[in-house]
Amino acid sequence: MPGCRVLVPFGRRRMTGYVVSLRRSPPGKVRLKQIVSLIDDEPLISGVLLDLARWMSRYYVHSLGEVLRAILPAGVKGAGRLSGEDETAGIFPDEIEYPELNAEQRTACDAVGKVLSSGGTASFLLHGVTGSGKTEVYLRCIDQALKLGRSALVLIPEIALIPQTTSRFRRRFGDGVAVIHSRLTGAQRSSIWKGVSRGDIRVVIGARSSVFVPLRDLGIIVIDEEQDGSFKQEEKPHYNAKAVAEFRARNEGAVLLFGSATPSLETYVAAQKGERGYLRLSSRPVIGTMPGVDIIDMRERRGTFSVELLDALESCLENREQAIVLLNRRGHASFIQCRKCGLIERCPNCAISLTYHSRENRLLCHYCGFEEEPPGACPSCGSYGLVRKGLGTQRVEMELRNLLPGARVLRMDLDTTAGKRGHLDILERFSGGEADILLGTQMVAKGHHYPLVTLVGVISADTGLNFPDFRAAERSFQLLSQAAGRTGRGERGGRVIVQTYIPGHYLFDHLPKHDYDGFAAAELKLRKELGYPPFGRLVLLTVSSTSSGDACTGAEQVAAAVVKTCRSKRDCRVLGPAPAMIEKLRGRYRMQILIRGDLDDAERKKLVSAARAAVPGRSRAEVRWDVDPLNIS
Ligand code: ADP
Ligand code: ZN
Ligand code: ZN
């Protein structure tokens, strides 16, 4: 039966295979072998999941086997049959207290409810600032789906999978909720998979890979913080859980509900064009204030901390309140910025910032390969340029301790969050009042609601804004808004201080007013001019090898092959090859080629085949491809 696993002979070994379809005669001339044995009596993969796998295989140009391996959780794939005790049974709390919805929440619930009760499919964007009551809307819609006998899937960023979020769902829906997080064992995952397949578990909350959970009678898929990058799988097989969810919702007749305070421009534009319903929550029902945002011009100042930020931190300490200090640091890109006027060199072709390579003393665009010598003096103001690298959290921590000797500082970065519970422990200690200041990278912005946090300081908005990626401004706006959302929710109000060397950047026209629409309009204008998403689509090819020579040669060959296949296609542009932003990763040199244009399934397949054929198997270079890449690094 399709969806069952079988043991098949493969050379001299035996391997597990998946039955994907049955046919009476072999396709063309092939020699058939006997199946050794059946592993499952009942299909492990339902028909709709097989549909999904086929779609993923076509869209992302991966083999069906590879996709199926990604779909099935580790505990389920393992040898043998499904086993394990039932973890949960469908117990629902009978008395639920709902707050009275405000008008906008009601409109949102009604719109979703109408589709749910009609049994149709539709997608919506629920756009509202942190604290505007989005989760309340999710809960209400899920409740309605359950009442109609349907099930619900909630996807949230991995880092948000903390008890604070999930307990709210548990309180509403009791033990019928399963939470899938990275700390589960294979057996626990397999038990959830089983409970879901049987229909005992009807609400699942999880991160990216939970999009494959085989819920029956799926009524609604909620994707909270839909702008978050963690919905994209960056390893092979590359896929985006948002696109997968979209396919599922359409194929299974469910509602898809994206929620965000700062939606990705792709989702936002789709809503503006009417391809998704647009639902807006414009205020906070409990405490209606948004924090004030001050932009501090750091040009011609010394030191990491401005007087304004230090003063604010001090008064925070005096009032026994808490502060979050964000060090916006991404990757290892270094760039050249004029310390006097803030100018940054950008690529004349791609508009992304040029990366400084100190070894060769060159500025380089890692999209198209444009190269130049760093200017001796700033082309705009004539002052001397300065190489800037992201500051380390450890150094900033030391500085902070020196400047504010009385403050208790907790540092949160990749070093301090090692281990599966690392970031949870730190967040719990901070919310427990063990520290006055939480200092860290992006992670701190995604934490939760801390009533005592009245100040968010951003050391430098520039490392994010100058990141060599066309989404740099969008990501920065999202991150800074999210950071701002950490404060101002308590009665004490909140304040945000952002330090920058480029206060003239258009982002700062809109950030202080919490004006997402204004920012989006400005950003979309630029995207349109340059043909970047959401106005054009991308495929990223990466050619890597342990030898830099082989990587370069391989990339040249791939680029030539790709140019040839794309020649007939108007509006298709091939950028590169250029060294990837992370030029060397795990011992391999990396080159990349970016293809811009609207390719269909068949064209993408042709493109990938051509690229793979250009570096033959015996070559020491390897090609990877990423459809709709989110990180071009
Ligand atoms: P979001 O998910 O957008 O951050 P929440 O749904 O968590 O917002 O709502 C923020 C706070 O406001 C929560 O404490 C929630 O219980 C409360 N809340 C939400 N909607 C209402 C409402 N209509 N009336 C009163 N309180 C509400
Ligand atoms: Zn200058
Ligand atoms: Zn370029």
| Confidence class for position 337, pLDDT limits 50, 70, 90 | confident
Last residue of a domain, one of 477, 497, 529: 529
**Is residue 632 one of the residues assigned to a domain?**
no
pLDDT, mean over the chain: 88
Assess whether 242 and 215 both reside in one domain: yes
Cβ within 8 Å of residue 102, ≥6 positions away: 133, 283, 285
One-letter amino acid of 268: Y
Task: Please report the pLDDT score of residue 147 as a whole number.
Answer: 95
Assess whether 588 and 500 both reside in one domain: no
Assess whether 112 and 41 both reside in one domain: no
The yes-or-no verdict on residue 218 having pLDDT over 60 is yes
**Is residue 38 one of the residues assigned to a domain?**
yes
Distance (Å, whole) CA 372 – CA 349: 13
Task: Please report the pLDDT score of residue 183 as a whole number.
Answer: 80
CATH of the domain at 463: 3.40.50.300
486 pocket-lining for ligand 1 (C-beta < 6 Å) = no
Distance (Å, whole) CA 70 – CA 81: 18
Q: What is the mean pLDDT of residues 616-630?
A: 88
Of residues 233 and 340, more confidently modeled:
233
One-letter amino acid of 609: S
Task: Please report the pLDDT score of residue 84 as a whole number.
Answer: 38
Reduced to 3 states (helix: H, G, I; strand: E, B; else coil), residue 353 is: strand
Cβ within 8 Å of residue 99, ≥6 positions away: 136, 285
Q: What's the structural domain count of the chain?
A: 4
Ligand nearest to the CA of 482: 1
Of residues 355 and 93, more confidently modeled:
355
Residue 23 to residues 27, 38, 53, 125, 342, Cα–Cα distance (Å) = 9, 17, 19, 42, 66
The yes-or-no verdict on residue 89 having pLDDT over 50 is no
Assess whether 198 and 135 both reside in one domain: yes
Assess whether 542 and 471 both reside in one domain: no
**Is residue 605 one of the residues assigned to a domain?**
yes
List pLDDT tens digits, range 114-170.
Answer: 999 999 999 999 999 888 899 999 999 999 999 999 999 999 998 777 777 788 898
Q: Which of 47, 110, 66 is nearest to 251 (CA)?
A: 47
| Confidence class for position 389, pLDDT limits 50, 70, 90 | low
**Is residue 587 one of the residues assigned to a domain?**
yes
The yes-or-no verdict on residue 446 having pLDDT over 80 is no
The yes-or-no verdict on residue 35 having pLDDT over 70 is yes
| Confidence class for position 418, pLDDT limits 50, 70, 90 | low
User: Near ion ligand 3, which residues have CB within 5 Å?
Assistant: 347, 349-350, 365, 367-368, 370
The yes-or-no verdict on residue 504 having pLDDT over 50 is yes
CATH of the domain at 62: 3.40.1440.60
285 pocket-lining for ligand 1 (C-beta < 6 Å) = yes
Q: Which of 69-73, 258-262, 347-351 has the highest mean pLDDT?
A: 258-262
Q: Identify the weakest region by mean pLDDT among 65-79, 299-313, 446-460, 544-558.
A: 65-79
Ligand 1 centroid–CA 133 distance in Å is 4
Interhelix angle 601-614/548-566, rounded to 10 degrees, is 140
Assess whether 297 and 441 both reside in one domain: yes
Assess whether 509 and 435 both reside in one domain: yes
Of residues 301 and 543, more confidently modeled:
543
Ligand nearest to the CA of 343: 2
Distance (Å, whole) CA 580 – CA 590: 6
Pocket test for ligand 1, best of 125, 139, 286, 481 (most atoms within 8 A of CB): 286
Per-residue DSSP letter, 512:
G
**Is residue 83 one of the residues assigned to a domain?**
no
Q: Identify the weakest region by mean pLDDT among 325-329, 448-452, 483-487, 616-620.
A: 616-620
Residue 446, domain extent: 292-330+392-529
Distance (Å, whole) CA 75 – CA 362: 49
Distance (Å, whole) CA 616 – CA 254: 44
Ligand nearest to the CA of 100: 1
Pocket test for ligand 1, best of 136, 172, 514 (most atoms within 8 A of CB): 136
Residue 5 near residue 43, CB atoms below 8 Å: no
Task: Please report the pLDDT score of residue 546 as a whole number.
Answer: 92
One-letter amino acid of 216: R
373 pocket-lining for ligand 1 (C-beta < 6 Å) = no
Assess whether 321 and 433 both reside in one domain: yes
Task: Please report the pLDDT score of residue 557 as a whole number.
Answer: 94
Distance (Å, whole) CA 317 – CA 534: 44
**Is residue 376 one of the residues assigned to a domain?**
no
Task: Please report the pLDDT score of residue 387 as a whole number.
Answer: 62
The yes-or-no verdict on residue 620 having pLDDT over 60 is yes
Last residue of a domain, one of 506, 529, 552: 529
Q: What is the mean pLDDT of residues 58-77?
A: 86
Q: What is the mean pLDDT of residues 475-495?
A: 84
CATH of the domain at 582: 3.30.70.600
Ligand nearest to the CA of 380: 2
451 pocket-lining for ligand 1 (C-beta < 6 Å) = no
Quick one: CA torsion of 546, 551, 552, 557, rounded to 10 degrees?
Answer: 150
Task: Please report the pLDDT score of residue 80 as a whole number.
Answer: 41
| Confidence class for position 356, pLDDT limits 50, 70, 90 | confident
**Is residue 340 one of the residues assigned to a domain?**
no
Residue 421 to residues 82, 160, 168, 432, Cα–Cα distance (Å) = 28, 12, 20, 16
Interhelix angle 516-530/265-272, rounded to 10 degrees, is 100
**Is residue 578 one of the residues assigned to a domain?**
yes
Cβ within 8 Å of residue 519, ≥6 positions away: 477, 506, 507, 509, 510, 511
166 pocket-lining for ligand 1 (C-beta < 6 Å) = no
Of residues 118 and 41, more confidently modeled:
118
Q: Identify the weakest region by mean pLDDT among 75-79, 119-123, 160-164, 270-274.
A: 75-79
Task: Please report the pLDDT score of residue 288 as a whole number.
Answer: 58
The yes-or-no verdict on residue 317 having pLDDT over 70 is yes
Q: Identify the weakest region by mean pLDDT among 10-24, 73-87, 292-306, 329-343.
A: 73-87
Task: Please report the pLDDT score of residue 150 as a whole number.
Answer: 96
Task: Please report the pLDDT score of residue 10 as a whole number.
Answer: 85
Assess whether 180 and 239 both reside in one domain: yes
436 pocket-lining for ligand 1 (C-beta < 6 Å) = no
3-class SS string, 524-535: HHHHHHHCCCCC
Distance (Å, whole) CA 393 – CA 323: 16
Task: Please report the pLDDT score of residue 222 as a whole number.
Answer: 98
Residues in the chain, total: 633
Ligand 3 centroid–CA 474 distance in Å is 19
Residue 392 has which token pair? 């380390």
Last residue of a domain, one of 483, 508, 529: 529
List pLDDT tens digits, range 233-264.
Answer: 999 899 999 999 999 999 999 999 999 999 99
Assess whether 269 and 299 both reside in one domain: no
Assess whether 511 and 441 both reside in one domain: yes
Assess whether 502 and 405 both reside in one domain: yes
